[in-house]
Amino acid sequence: MSGTPKVAYVRSDMLPEAPPPPGQAGPIKWLRENLFAGWFNSAMTILAIYVVWSVLSGTLPWVFNGIWDAGSLTECREIRNARGLDSAACWAVVNERWLQMLFGFYPTDDPLLARLFYADELAAAGGAEMVFGGGFNATQQVAFISAMKDEISNAAIFFFGYWRPLLALALLVPAIAPVLYSNLPRSLLIFSLIYPFVAFFLLWGGSVWLPTLVALGLLATIMAGRYAAAFVGSLGGFFVSLIVFLAIFMNPLGVVGIDGLFPLLPQLNGELTDAIPLGLPFIASQNFGGFMLAIIIGTSGIVLSLPLGIALALGRQSSMPLIKWVCVSFIEVIRGVPLIVWLFTASTLLNYFLPPGTEFDLLLRVIIMVTLFASAYLAEVVRGGLAALPKGQYEAADSLGLDYWKSMRLIILPQALKISIPGIVNTFIGLFKDTTLVVFIGLRDPLGLTNAIRATSEWNGIYWELYIFVGALFFMFCFFMSRYSMYLERRLRTDHR
């Protein structure tokens, strides 16, 4: 061949696509690359398989040989020995006490249960009016109810005895769906706005007029502001709605010593309740407990802390020093102190700061504290998202003539929140699990109830089964949140990087 390299070259035909050589694609390639690449990798694979097998071979028989039907831990052990098993879970405790784990000491709707499932005995005892309407004394009533509950299955008690919290939970789904999934009609959001009042009425009961009037009062506040804003400008509209709000919910004349005229709400409530007494039996917050408590505190905390967290994050970025300073100190103080300290503050110290005689529901105080705590964390997560946006996005929004609020709402926040989704959901999951801390201030959360169950002579000494049940319940909810966040991230991925 000649020594001079050939420079000129022209391809006459383009090469067709060809399949990869054998063993370079498909499951064999995957196995070789991921499990058996080199001797060290292969050894680790075998070791890992051994570890997984030994863990599962230890636990799975315990789980699946579990005993479901027993009245006490001793009975469980007898059954286990009779079957000749080394170890077996005693799921009987869950089988017997799952209603309590879910609802704590929230009362069942006994008259309804009696009418539906215990009608003959109810008639024999003299009818509902006799048993529940004052004819029976307390001892007779308790005896009747416990006899009834022994008769009726747990499933029936679950669906009909606890219909109020169940209905509230079921309605949470349509209330939250239009918020979570944007392809649903926007008009469903109206129900999302009404839902908090419906849920309050179902869970706490009392007169139907109180939540209705609070909702109408808030509506009146907003509408008055909007209507007035058309005539006197947005600042004037704000003051009009403030005055309407004060007249309905507070006593603005109290400072000058005129009482009894305002607020309008309790007066209207009293008159309407007298005229049309509609409602459900009132249930005090002390009776709330179990997993229901975790859901109530968790959901309210999540819903309330997101807007507050966003506001704090924007405030921290504000160019106005006072707003910035207030937000920074709020975030640092709330975040720098453990949640349990704030909960103790809520349960004991807060009373010192409130006017004497103020009845302030403990559950409400806890929800406020959990919300403030989570919002401080959220503010920092959202601030991270805001900081991650290129400066050009702010400039482009500015250069189109969008004012601060419009550019935040339309340009900056949609992108910043999208970036922050993993962090936000992380905070939400943390908040939801932190609700178990309320056990320390005397609320009966699921973990607190495990102690109560262990305190009975039947189940003294049972730990694993109860904790696994509580863990599984929490895992279910947290796993849903995690999956939803991944769905959201996928759906909002429009940058095509």
Partner 1 sequence: MAQADTDIAGTTRIAANVSDEVAIEIHNMNKWYGTFHVLRDIDLTVQRGERIVIAGPSGSGKSTLIRCINALEEHQKGKITVDGTVLSSDLKNVDRIRSEVGMVFQHFNLFPHLTILENCTLAPIWVRKIPKREAEEIAMHFLTKVKIPEQALKYPGQLSGGQQQRVAIARSLCMRPRIMLFDEPTSALDPEMIKEVLDTMVSLAEDGMTMLCVTHEMGFARQVANRVIFMDQGQIVEQNEPEEFFNNPKSERTKLFLSQILGH
Binding residues for partner 1 (CB under 8 A): 390, 392-393, 395-403, 406, 410-411, 414-415, 418, 492, 494-497
Least separation in angstroms between residue 408's CB and partner 1 is: 12
Backbone angles phi, psi at 493, to 5 degrees: -75, 95
Q: Which residue, 95 or 393, has its beta carbon nearer to partner 1?
A: 393
Minimum CB separation of residue 256 from partner 1 in Å reads 38
Contact 255, 175 (CB under 8 A): no
Question: Considering the complex, what minimum distance in angstroms separates the CB of residue 410 from partner 1?
Answer: 6
Cα–Cα distances (Å) from 198 to 74, 194, 364, in that order, read: 45, 7, 17
**Least distance in Å: CB of 473 to partner 1?**
36
Q: Which is nearer to partner 1, 86 or 495 (CB)?
A: 495
**Cβ distance to partner 1 smaller for residue 83 or 406:** 406
Torsion over CA: 379, 381, 384, 388 (sign): negative
Cβ distance 394 to 406 under 8 Å? no
Residue nearer to partner 1 on the CB measure, 272 or 492: 492
d(CA 129, CA 140): 14
Phi (first) and psi of residue 343, to 5 degrees: -70, -40
Residues with Cβ within 8 Å of 248's Cβ and at least 6 positions away in sequence, in order, are 217, 220, 221, 263, 264, 265
What tokens appear for 130 in the block? 């006799």
Residue closer to partner 1 (CB basis): 11 or 496: 496
Shortest separation between residue 48's beta carbon and partner 1, angstroms: 39
To partner 1, the closest distance from the beta carbon of 154 in angstroms equals 49
Q: Indicate the length of the chain as a whole number.
A: 497
Nearer to partner 1, 305 or 415 (CB): 415
Q: How far is the CB of 404 from partner 1 (least distance, A)?
A: 8
Residue in the block written with tokens 């002579």: 457
C-alpha distances in Å from residue 298, one per residue of 279, 294, 422, 462: 26, 6, 18, 28
Select 226 or 409, whichever has its Cβ closest to partner 1: 409
- 11-22 burial by CB neighbour count: b if 16+ within 10 A, else e? eeeeeeeeeeee
Q: Is the Cβ of residue 335 or residue 493 nearer to partner 1 in the bound state?
A: 493
Sequence-ordered list of residues with C-beta below 8 angstroms from that of 101, at least 6 positions apart, any chain? 94, 290, 291, 446, 449, 450, 453, 466, 469, 470, 473
Q: Work out whether the CA dihedral 463, 468, 471, 473 comes out positive or negative.
A: negative
Token pair 């849903």 is found at 480
Q: How far is the CB of 395 from partner 1 (least distance, A)?
A: 6
